Amino acid sequence: MSKTDENLKKAFEDECETYMRYIAFARQAEDEGFRNIALLLRATAEGETVHALNQIDALGGVSSTEENLKLAVQEEEEDFFRMYPQFIKEAQTEDRTEAVMSLTWIQQVERAHFGLLKHALQALQDGNDVEDQEFYLCTNCGFVAAGAAPSTCPVCKAPQNMFKSIA
């Protein structure tokens, strides 16, 4: 990998992390009643998204939909089989209850993401798109439901009103 590619990769990772940090900062500002600061932070976060997308394009990090889905399936599988079990074990050893809960939810959600993405890959390989349906995101844990929002999240038990439609 060239030095420029290494720099683009580091910059991409930094922009992604900064985006998430600014979104968290915006949520906090909103909770404290600073609506306009929250809007500024969200707008700035979207700027970080533009930067990250430009960097991944410069890296050639986006392929065909089939190749992208193969990579997504592989990454989700790695997360729920290897990465998160290890993270959970380490958090348990350190008696970090909140971290254990968060990491356990994420592991379960990653398994669900894996299933949805694997289904999409199979549909694509069969020459099809996935079924025409809505997708719903649990804003508490990140679980994605296809078709309809469940009455309660199967991962974190959040109520149906915690799901938002992804259209």
Same domain, 163 and 121: no
| Residue partners of 70: CB distance under 8 A and separation at least 6 | 121
Same domain, 46 and 16: yes
Same domain, 122 and 141: no
The three-class DSSP label of residue 144 is: strand
Same domain, 34 and 46: yes
Range(s) of the domain holding residue 112: 63-129
Same domain, 123 and 137: no
Name the more confident of 1 and 127. 127
Query: Residue 153 pLDDT more than 90?
Result: yes
What does each C-alpha distance from 147 to 68, 151, 161 come to in angstroms?
23, 13, 15
Report the candidate in 89, 68, 81 with the shortest Cα–Cα distance to residue 108.
Answer: 81
Q: Which tokens belong to 163?
A: 């799901």
Give 40's Cβ-side CA count (13 Å radius): 5
The three-class DSSP label of residue 127 is: coil
Tens-digit pLDDT profile for residues 64-100 = 999 999 999 999 999 999 999 999 999 999 999 999 9
Tens-digit pLDDT profile for residues 24-73 = 999 999 999 999 999 999 999 999 999 999 999 999 999 999 999 999 99
Q: At residue 94, what are phi and psi to the nearest 5 degrees?
A: -90, 5
For residue 27, the cross-strand partners are none
CA distance 50 to 68: 19
Structural domain total, the chain: 3
Predicted model pTM: 0.88
CA distance 58 to 62: 10
